[in-house]
Amino acid sequence: MSLRIGDYAPNFSAQTTLGEIDFHQWLGDSWGIIYSHPADFTPVCTTELGRTAQLKDEFEKRGTKVAAISTDDLDSHIGWIDDINETQNTQVEFPIIADADKKVATLYNMIHPNFSTTATVRSVYFIDPDKKIQAIITYPASTGRNFAEILRVLDSLQLTAAHSVATPVDWEPGQDVIISPSVKQEDVEAKFPKGHRVIKPYLRYTPQPNK
């Protein structure tokens, strides 16, 4: 059965380039991202792992731990990291999960038979501190992931988890947000003291609460 938003993120133990981890213990109280690659030494994924390493401080600012996964073995991963560090001018310091038996890929529905019976699809799972999946993005092998969008989605998830708001189309951090329909109009002023504007009864904007 495929995983959906709101599902509990399956736990697992696995060998990684940073040693063996219990996934839930490793996440602790942090937000988490786990994302997959079809195989080691693939060109698009090399650039993506490099970007993840370069964005280390951005993920740390958001209290988020990142793990990658490929169905190749640990020795292959270690060799690939050397290439990533060299070609992307960075230092990979996050774990890459060795999943030669495809145990984790199967748990996370990363094997799509219509794509490949052996390689993982390129999925990104966003996991909250309660270990619930809050978003899933899946890319084809030919399209590099947009990490500005991954950070934007993470910012939106964290914001909307803490406040009764949603983020509108093309929202960027710092811009106005939409007040949740669950908030009654008579409660809006107290809940959103920065002010608000009503476009329609169901479409109400307010400045981002945590800025």
> Would residue 45 show up in a list of annotated catalytic residues for this protein?
yes
Distance CA 141, CA 174 (A): 33
The one-letter code for the residue type at 201 is: P
Q: How many CB atoms lie within 10 A of CB 13?
A: 13
Per-residue b or e along 159-183, where b marks 16 or more CB atoms closer than 10 Å to that residue's CB: bbeebbbebeeebeeeebbbbeeeb
- Distance, in Å, from the CA atom of 167 to the CA atom of 31, rounded to the nearest integer, reads 19
Contacts of 25 (CB under 8 A, 6+ apart): none
Q: Which is catalytic among the residues 9, 27, 33, 45?
A: 45
Give me the active site residues, please.
45
